[in-house]
Amino acid sequence: MNQLDIFDIAPAKTVVIVGGGPAGLMAAEVIASAGHQVSVYDAMPSVGRKFLLAGVGGMNITHAEPAEDFRARYSANANFINALKQFDATALRNWVHGLGIDTFVGTSGRVFPTDMKAAPLLRAWLHRLRELGVKIYPRHRWLGWGEKVRENEPAPLIFTTTENATVVTKSISADAVLLALGGASWQRLGSDGAWVPLLNEHHVQVNELVPSNCGFAIAWSDLLREQHAGEPLHGVGLSCVDAEGRVRSVLSEAIISAYGIEGTGIYALSKYLREQLAQQGNALLNIDLLPDFPADKIIQRLKKPREKNSLSNFLRKQLNLSPTKLALLREFTTKNTFENPELLALAIKKLSLTLIATRPIDEAISTAGGIAAKELDKTFMLTKIPGVFCAGEMLDWDAPTGGYLLTGCFASGRAAGHGLVSWLKKPR
């Protein structure tokens, strides 16, 4: 028996789920467990493609920090946060264990399957869904709704697919529909935002989809770009100021790229940097190149005799500054700063980089924005299209990497699935 709630079995209804990512598949499990006939349609050749790619470097399924701290990582409405309360990180781990997959907590608090892979988890999950009678139809692209046959029945969904090398249009009816189509990042994996105008046609407000957990552009010199693109910045302090004037900081890492800067620490601050860009046209990122060294200790070391060492060699020996960190100092300071121990220490502790743009949305790990909270009731049903529920990254919420994104998709898919089942029980 899985970890999901068991419903009183009601007369079976037909349910169509559009989107075969974590949110859609979780909703499918909930709804099928209640005894309904569930069909999942996805535009890609197979389901869970973004889920699998996210697990290439190690499947970070969730995070083990205290529940209140965990929920504070999300920028979302109260209804979404309540979904996280109902299916939190502990519940998600228990659900994974129910699939026969063990997990462990890493030193950073991140939770991984024991083998670090996404594929075994997805295989076990799809096996469970098949046992529940869930039917999956890949290569079906949703085009919107057709005309109602009868006024008191929901409008059919229109899909295109390819059969025998011929494009075929299908009209599919169901008692209820759940949309879990993702955001607009990683288009090659199916999240292309093509659903936005389809909902706009029904006067559903969709807040602009924008890049989240993304890289940022910086106007590097040709020299820095040519010599240091692809180089990491390990063990740095990264900080910026949010829209309310509060300092947001992380101790993490970043990567210099040809276009600017990216990496785990940058993604953690991306929401605040993106908001600065929207308000001011640029954003200021501060880097502490030596977070474990206080400024006075740095000054003390810089005042030691250089003897026959070059300045670069002297800084490397005294402060263990990598060539990339030295290059950043040279990029954003003057010769006078390098000759003054006090000024150089200040620059090492707070090197300010001006970010001029986010990278394109398709390069982002996730997107912020989506269906406005006011368009959904507490069961995640669209108030303007009764019988249509929404989940996952389509909704207007934001979260950093580290397992939070996946947990949000699982939790909202589960909540929307429960909402749909409850709606089907009501008399029409």
Are 305 and 189 members of one domain?
Answer: no
Are 182 and 62 members of one domain?
Answer: yes
**Which of 325, 358, 391 lies at the terminal end of a domain, its last residue?**
358
**What is the Cα–Cα distance from 421 to 3, expressed in whole angstroms?**
17
Are 236 and 161 members of one domain?
Answer: no
- Domain count of the fold of the chain: 2
Question: Does residue 2 lie in a domain region?
Answer: no
Question: Does residue 4 lie in a domain region?
Answer: no
**Which of 340, 358, 376 lies at the terminal end of a domain, its last residue?**
358
DSSP state of 3: S
**Which of 331, 358, 385 lies at the terminal end of a domain, its last residue?**
358
Are 373 and 266 members of one domain?
Answer: no
Are 51 and 200 members of one domain?
Answer: yes
Are 152 and 268 members of one domain?
Answer: no
Exposed/middle/buried for residue 229 (C-beta within 10 Å: 0-12, 13-18, 19+): middle
Question: Does residue 224 lie in a domain region?
Answer: yes
Are 107 and 233 members of one domain?
Answer: no
Give me the torsion for CA of 225, 228, 230, 233, rounded to 10°.
-120
Over its length of 428 residues, how does the chain's per-residue pLDDT go in tens digits? 455 554 455 578 999 999 999 999 999 999 999 999 999 999 999 999 989 987 777 889 999 999 999 999 999 999 999 999 999 999 999 999 999 999 999 988 999 999 999 999 999 999 999 999 999 999 999 999 998 777 777 899 999 998 888 889 999 999 999 999 999 988 888 889 999 999 999 999 999 999 999 999 999 999 999 999 999 999 999 999 998 899 999 999 999 999 999 999 999 999 999 999 999 999 999 999 999 999 999 999 999 988 888 888 888 888 989 999 999 999 999 989 988 999 999 999 999 999 999 999 999 999 999 999 999 999 999 999 999 999 999 999 999 998 999 999 999 999 999 999 999 998 87
CB of 237 within 8 A of CB of 249?
yes
Q: Tokens 């955001």 correspond to what residue? A: 183
Question: Does residue 403 lie in a domain region?
Answer: yes
Are 38 and 140 members of one domain?
Answer: yes
CATH of the domain at 38: 3.50.50.60
Length of the chain: 428
Which candidate, 215, 217, 211, places its Cα nearest to that of 353? 217
Are 18 and 127 members of one domain?
Answer: yes
* Two tokens, residue 204: 């559903």
Question: Does residue 312 lie in a domain region?
Answer: yes
Are 181 and 227 members of one domain?
Answer: no
Question: Does residue 379 lie in a domain region?
Answer: yes
Are 375 and 336 members of one domain?
Answer: no
Note the maximum CA span of the chain: 90
Question: Does residue 3 lie in a domain region?
Answer: no
Domain extent at residue 285: 216-358
Are 258 and 389 members of one domain?
Answer: no
Question: Does residue 302 lie in a domain region?
Answer: yes
